[in-house]
C-alpha cells in the first residue's frame, strides 16, 4: 500500500469535517429509513427463536414482518428508529473527527500516511464511536424493537414510550452500566468495519486517481460516491 499525504490532490485540502458530517449523516439517515424494518424483523426473529417451545413451527422473515405489521401496524417495523436517527449525527461526527485525529497522530515525519496507519486510524475511530455512541444507541433501539405491544390499541401501553423515555428508564432502573452492555463486541465490530471501510475507500480512491487523465485533480462526485458504495460494502 502506498503512503498518502494528509493533503488532497494538487495540494488541495480534503473535504472539511462539516462536509463529511453532512454527507455521512444524510447517507446514514437514508440507510436507517430503508433498513430499519429489516433490523426490527431480525431482532424479533432472534427473540422468538429463544422463546419458542420445542417442536413449535419456526416463523420466517416474511411471516414475522407481516405479523408485526398486522398486530402493531406498519409503524411497528420502525420501533427504535428514533434512537438510530438521534445517534446518527453524533456517530458520524465522532467517526470522521476521530479518524482524522488518529490519522494525524499516526502520520510519518514527512506528513504521509501509510496503509497500515490508515487501517489503524479507522480501527481506532470505530472503537471510539462504539464506546461513545453506538453501544448505548443500540441498547435503547433493541429495547424498543423488542416490545410486543399493539400500536393501534390505546389501552396497550408499552414500557418504553420513545427513545428518550427508554434511555431514562434504563438509567433509572438498571444504572448507567446497562447502556454499555455488550460494548466489547460492539467495539470489535465497529472497529473492524471502519478499519476496512476507510482503508478500502482510501486505496480505491488512490487507484482511481492514478488512472484518471489528471492525477492531481479532484475526482468528480459520482466517482467518489461509487467508491463510497464499494468501501461501505466492505466495511459498513
Give dist(CA 184, CA 130) in Å, integer.
9
Give dist(CA 29, CA 176) in Å, integer.
27
Coil, helix or strand for 235? coil
pLDDT one-digit tens code per residue, 128-160: 999 999 999 999 999 999 887 655 555 567 889
| Domain extents in the chain | 14-204
Residue 226 banded pLDDT, cuts 50, 70, 90: confident
Proportion of the chain above pLDDT 70, given as a percent:
83
Which residues, including other chains, have CB under 8 Å from residue 236's CB and lie 6 or more apart? 193, 197
**Mean pLDDT, residues 70-81:** 90
Q: Does domain 14-204 have CATH number 1.10.1060.10?
A: no
1 or 49: which carries more pLDDT confidence? 49
216 burial (CB, 10 Å; 0-12 / 13-18 / 19+) is exposed
Give the pLDDT of residue 177: 96
Give dist(CA 138, CA 75) in Å, integer.
19
Smallest CA-to-CA distance from 89 within 15, 13, 26, 163 is with 26
pTM for the predicted model, two decimal places:
0.76
Amino acid at each position: 500500500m502506498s503512503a498518502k499525504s494528509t493533503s488532497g490532490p494538487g495540494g488541495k485540502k480534503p473535504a472539511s469535517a462539516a462536509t463529511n458530517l453532512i454527507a455521512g449523516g444524510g447517507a446514514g439517515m437514508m440507510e436507517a429509513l430503508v433498513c430499519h424494518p429489516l433490523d426490527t424483523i431480525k431482532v424479533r426473529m432472534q427473540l422468538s427463536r429463544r422463546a419458542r417451545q420445542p417442536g413449535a413451527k419456526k416463523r420466517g422473515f416474511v411471516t414475522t414482518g407481516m405479523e408485526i405489521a398486522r398486530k402493531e401496524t406498519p409503524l411497528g417495523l420502525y420501533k427504535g428508529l428514533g434512537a438510530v436517527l438521534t445517534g446518527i449525527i453524533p456517530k458520524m461526527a465522532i467517526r470522521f473527527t476521530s479518524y482524522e485525529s488518529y490519522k494525524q497522530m499516526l502520520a510519518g515525519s514527512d506528513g504521509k500516511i501509510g496503509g497500515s496507519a490508515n487501517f489503524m486510524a479507522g480501527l481506532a475511530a470505530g472503537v471510539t464511536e462504539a464506546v461513545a455512541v453506538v453501544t448505548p444507541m443500540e441498547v435503547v433501539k433493541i429495547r424498543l424493537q423488542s416490545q410486543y405491544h399493539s400500536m393501534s390499541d390505546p389501552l396497550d401501553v408499552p414500557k418504553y414510550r420513545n427513545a428518550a423515555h427508554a434511555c431514562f428508564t434504563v438509567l433509572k432502573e438498571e444504572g448507567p452500566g446497562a447502556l454499555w452492555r455488550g460494548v466489547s463486541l460492539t467495539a470489535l465490530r465497529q472497529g473492524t468495519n471502519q478499519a476496512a471501510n476507510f482503508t478500502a475507500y482510501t486505496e480505491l480512491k488512490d487507484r482511481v486517481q492514478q488512472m484518471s487523465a489528471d492525477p492531481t485533480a479532484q475526482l468528480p462526485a459520482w466517482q467518489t460516491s461509487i467508491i463510497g458504495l464499494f468501501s461501505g460494502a466492505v466495511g459498513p
